[in-house]
Structure 1
Amino acid sequence: MRIGKRFGAVLEALEKGQPVDLSAMPPAPEDLPQASKALTVPLVVPPAVEQVHPVMASDTPRTPVAHTEPQTVLDALQQRLNKYREAGTQARSSGDERKARMHERIAKQYQDAIRAHRAGRKVDFAELPVPPGFPPIPGVEPTTGTEEDAVAATLAAAQKLASSEDIAPAEEDGDEDEDEPPAQAPVSKKPLIPSSRSLPEPKASSSKESLSPSVREQLALLEARKLQYQRAALQAKRGRDLEQAKAHLRLAKCLEAQIIQVRAGRPLDLSKVPSPLTDEEGDFILIHHEDLRLSQKAEEVYAQLQKMLQEQHEKCLLFSKQFMHQGNVAETTRFEKLAQDRKKQLEILHLAQAQGLDPPSHHFELKTFQTVRIFSELNSTEMHLIIVRGMNLPAPPGVTPDDLDAFVRFEFHYPNSDQAQKSKTAVVKNTNSPEFDQLFKLNINRNHRGFRRVIQSKGIKFEIFHKGSFFRSDKLVGTAHLKLERLENECEIREILEVLDGRKPTGGKLEVRVRLREPLSGQDMQTVTENWLVLEPRGL
């Protein structure tokens, strides 16, 4: 009984991840003298201790209790298939449908593996979950390792089997495997994990003594880092973020390879060791760049890059649409490809952010485009006039600038002077710098000689008024005139006009714009220079 209590204390320490010295533990019952073995048989030993005794003291690999050693790969696969079918039946009979479906999916994996092996195709045995206590597949190296390796294997299997159903936390996977063995043998999984860890302990302790202090420090660093990533993978899986869990498991596997390399006496390149996680309980965003120390900073960089890519994507679509209206197929295709590239880069950025990766390295290149300006939203039979704002408009006598109630009236002498198109803005009160921002649609005929004559000689006349009261009429405070000759070669005119009192400047300004769908003659060619964002590919 005393020996059983000692083993119970050792098991508790192993479950908590504390170091355990097994050199002081008693040997296995078969190694004891015959008399003492006879005494130990009638004792009532706790089940967990009884199962662990032969494994803890044995120098040989785990020997399954209730499973015969398979002779061929097909035998091993068939044994495991039968095991998972049996576990699924048992789970369904106990009313646990979710666990039953999980075992059935694993059984389906084994069925596919058996068919592939019989057909001579290559089978990745590492992706197949292993039932607890089963011997390795003949001809395949057994994957024995630490408790963390078992966790990694469990996570990898869960990720492979992930479906549209709700995925339970990682601890439930342990419980599921724990329920499997009763179908064949009363061996629980929980003691098996510490036992597999306990096998190499005496060798590891003796080998560590022969290692130099610097190598021991490297091993401690790598093992602590590996444990950190495995815990991060468990945390990500609890949050149902399988992509993040996979990323952490890949890094944990990389660290395992580096641990093996150091134990073999090879030098370690610290620059290739994965960086530590910023917060074990946080979102596990890995930081590799000196200028991105906080996840908040990384989020800001992602937001800026996404905004730039989105703007460039929209510009490419606009330029493509403009050339399409001109019938220029080559330039249309060129900008469509550029737009597709921007969209692809944006998707890559979204994916990297979703996986918790650092913002990618990037740089800017100056790109110059020859574009054709066109307002495709306008019809060819209309012209848009926008009265934007007045600035420092003069006030009539007896009215202070802050009491000016201004509005603008305009005349466009087309189709003729008698049928001129007229309108006015709304009144903006109590300011001499009113914001009008008002659009007027004027009817035109681009091919009419009268329209061309108005464009070349008359333009548009503006009058600025102060709104009168009930007994007083509106007072004219100034005029302005916009010439339209530039519409021959440009599709937009934007001018800030001088406000005149007769021919005398008043100091006031009036901002207006005029737009056509496209110039009256030729094309409105423009040279655009952009700082083009280029994402650099990630090193693999």
Structure 2
Amino acid sequence: SAPKAHSPAGQPTKDILLERQKEYRMAALKAKQAGDIDQAKMHIKASKGFDAAVEALEKGQPVDMSSIPPPLSQVTHPAPQKAITSPSAPDSGSGPAQPQTVLEALEQRMAKYKEAFTQAKASGDERKARMHDRIAKQYQAAIRAHKADRPINFDELPAPPGRFFCSQKEDDLGEAAAAATAPHKNLCQMGLNLVIFSSAQQQLEFLEGRKKQYMKAALQAKQKNDLEHAKTLLRAAKSLDPMIEAARSGKTVDVPSPPGDEDKDFILVHHSDVQISEKAEEVYTQLTKLLKEQYEKCVTYSKQFTHMGNVAETTKFENMAEQCKKSLEILKLAQNRGLQPPKHYFEERTYRTVRIFPELSSTDMVVFIVRGMNLPAPSGVATNDLDAYVKFDFPYPSTDQPQKHKTSVIKNTNNPGYNQSFKLNINRNHRGFRRVIQSKGLKLEVLHKGGFLRSDKPIGTALLKLEKLETESEVREIVELMDGRKATGGRLEVRVRLREPLGGQDHQTVTERWLVLEEPQVNDLLNVFIWKY
């Protein structure tokens, strides 16, 4: 008989199965985004093959290995099909011909943005010109990738406003709409059907019909006692209401795919087909910058608590990092689809952190010589001829055996930037080391490098007190450069860092303004179907 799930021989662990299942689901999502619906369905069905195996492992039962799909890396499948929504249909007798291939669609869009760049340049609108030029270059890169048969992420390409809409089926569009898609058969065969509405009324009727489809599908799911699926379909139907209202006011909206495919579980969110203004571009840039900073901060705190073994705090900051990552993805998707920035606000968040430098061991102390500022030149040397370097002796393990280091020479300036670090060996619990920290500190000397047959000339000395290392993991100071007891006017920026303070953990209470996107409003803004797992 097959070995038990806990046996190491031949049986995978639950974590392995869940990770492999996740790979299939992500592959399905990527295939769908690339327009390869058949490949996406295949991956979804394969992902469902893991459910029984996971359930068996949870019950301690043997797993039928033949029922488990192999790792995705061992599965060979054809290259994903490409799909792109082409620009809007030109009026008869004007504009470019309808694209018959993805390459033609890309080239037409690039030409459109190049034309917009030229117009903005001629009108003196430099900001708009730069924006259109940047987008044109994006399309240029996409064209090169397409010709080289490399994959293209079409979601990354901004779409000019148009009158096309995507649908999964042609047979529910009517003869007029189906006829309008006829020039685009090559694109349709790549997984994208295009519907061109001749009037706002036709668009409104189509949306209302799509809502009825969802309501009918929800009723059928309820009759089959599949209440969760019925609720999902009902929510999708209700989420069409803002789109219908927008269509009634004459606005262009995207058409959702019809319900009915059991392999897909759609969440509907709304999209307004308008280009982003220059002001909105600035808002997007600032929001992205702030969210990235928040994400990196959360990751840093999470790693610090991980090294301390604090699971609760690690999990808290991991969740905060994940939320920032999700907000970044929403922001990127909204910007790529030409939407106005989602509503957002700032809230005050107070949390406790513990400062630790996990890259250091308990026997490390690092001295950073950052820079010198307004260093005085010794007699006979011009300020712009100053060739200064810094040296220090750390009197540990003893005064007779200090650890000595010096920076490189920075020539021809009295404001040298060193940015050099030196690692010292210490024993945190040694009485002699604690005495140096508490009473002696770090003595530094700045000198001008002499030339041939000329000795180095002293510029001044500085003392960095280190007693703060008892309660803090880093001391960072700008210290005065002295000539005996006389201040020279020059200064040194120096940092000294331990893994953690000598007296225990470096607890800090931080209060910050935290950027938050309004989730409900985001869900109303974006008009795209995504798979929910």
1:438 is paired with a residue whose SS is strand
**Alpha-carbon distance between aligned partners in 2 of 1:382 and 1:484, rounded to the nearest angstrom:** 15
Stretches of 4+ aligned residues off by more than 6 angstroms: 168-173, 231-249, 257-260, 268-271
Equivalent residue number for residue 204 of structure 2: 255
1:397 aligns with 2:346: no
1:479 deviation in Å? 0.6
2:404 is paired with a residue whose SS is strand
Larger relative CO (CA 8 A, sep 6+): 1 or 2? Answer: 2
Equivalent residue number for residue 198 of structure 1: none
Share of identical aligned residues, percent? 56
1:273 aligns with 2:255: no
Equivalent residue number for residue 321 of structure 1: 303
Amino acid at match of 1:273: S
1:495 is paired with a residue whose SS is strand
Gaps spanning 5+ residues in structure 2: where?
A: 1-37, 39-78, 90-96, 101-160, 168-180, 210-243, 254-270, 526-533
Equivalent residue number for residue 524 of structure 2: 539
1:539 deviation in Å? 2.7
**Alpha-carbon distance between aligned partners in 1 of 2:454 and 2:300, rounded to the nearest angstrom:** 50
On the 8 A contact 1:463/1:479 being kept in 2, the answer is yes
On the 8 A contact 2:83/2:187 being kept in 1, the answer is no
2:413 is paired with a residue whose SS is coil
- Sort the Cα spacing of 1:385 and 1:244 in 2 relative to 1 into closer, same or farther, 3 A: farther
On the 8 A contact 1:383/1:441 being kept in 2, the answer is yes
**Alpha-carbon distance between aligned partners in 2 of 1:534 and 1:247, rounded to the nearest angstrom:** 37
Equivalent residue number for residue 117 of structure 2: none
- Sort the Cα spacing of 1:368 and 1:243 in 2 relative to 1 into closer, same or farther, 3 A: farther
CA displacement 1:401-425 (0-9 Å, x = unmatched): 1111111110100000111001111
1:379 aligns with 2:361: yes
1:339 deviation in Å? 1.2
**Alpha-carbon distance between aligned partners in 2 of 1:374 and 1:400, rounded to the nearest angstrom:** 43
On the 8 A contact 2:85/2:194 being kept in 1, the answer is no
**Alpha-carbon distance between aligned partners in 2 of 1:385 and 1:256, rounded to the nearest angstrom:** 72
The partner residue of 1:420 within 377, 380, 402 is 402
**1:112-127, aligned counterparts within 5 Å?**
none
The partner residue of 1:522 within 504, 526, 529 is 504
**Alpha-carbon distance between aligned partners in 2 of 1:307 and 1:481, rounded to the nearest angstrom:** 38
1:274 deviation in Å? 5.0
**Alpha-carbon distance between aligned partners in 2 of 1:252 and 1:436, rounded to the nearest angstrom:** 69
1:343 deviation in Å? 1.7
**Alpha-carbon distance between aligned partners in 2 of 1:259 and 1:518, rounded to the nearest angstrom:** 63
**Alpha-carbon distance between aligned partners in 2 of 1:490 and 1:237, rounded to the nearest angstrom:** 68
1:341 deviation in Å? 1.4
1:436 aligns with 2:425: no
2:445 is paired with a residue whose SS is strand
1:539 is paired with a residue whose SS is helix
On the 8 A contact 1:243/1:355 being kept in 2, the answer is no
- Sort the Cα spacing of 1:168 and 1:495 in 2 relative to 1 into closer, same or farther, 3 A: closer
CA displacement 1:243-269 (0-9 Å, x = unmatched): 8968999x9865236999xxxxxxx97
Amino acid at match of 1:397: S
Amino acid at match of 2:251: S
- Sort the Cα spacing of 1:539 and 1:416 in 2 relative to 1 into closer, same or farther, 3 A: same
The partner residue of 1:229 within 148, 163, 170 is 163
- Sort the Cα spacing of 1:167 and 1:510 in 2 relative to 1 into closer, same or farther, 3 A: closer
On the 8 A contact 2:305/2:314 being kept in 1, the answer is yes
Equivalent residue number for residue 316 of structure 2: 334
- Sort the Cα spacing of 1:414 and 1:246 in 2 relative to 1 into closer, same or farther, 3 A: farther
**Alpha-carbon distance between aligned partners in 2 of 1:391 and 1:443, rounded to the nearest angstrom:** 29
Amino acid at match of 1:375: F
Q: Name which one, 1 or 2, has greater alpha-carbon Rg.
A: 1
**Alpha-carbon distance between aligned partners in 1 of 2:197 and 2:503, rounded to the nearest angstrom:** 63
**1:97-496, aligned counterparts within 5 Å?**
164-165=80-81, 229-230=163-164, 255-256=204-205, 273=249, 275=251, 286=272, 294-496=276-478
**Alpha-carbon distance between aligned partners in 2 of 1:377 and 1:303, rounded to the nearest angstrom:** 32
**Alpha-carbon distance between aligned partners in 2 of 1:504 and 1:348, rounded to the nearest angstrom:** 59
On the 8 A contact 2:450/2:457 being kept in 1, the answer is yes
Amino acid at match of 2:163: Y
- Sort the Cα spacing of 1:434 and 1:244 in 2 relative to 1 into closer, same or farther, 3 A: farther
The partner residue of 1:505 within 454, 463, 487 is 487
Equivalent residue number for residue 48 of structure 1: none
**Alpha-carbon distance between aligned partners in 2 of 1:389 and 1:495, rounded to the nearest angstrom:** 11
2:323 is paired with a residue whose SS is helix
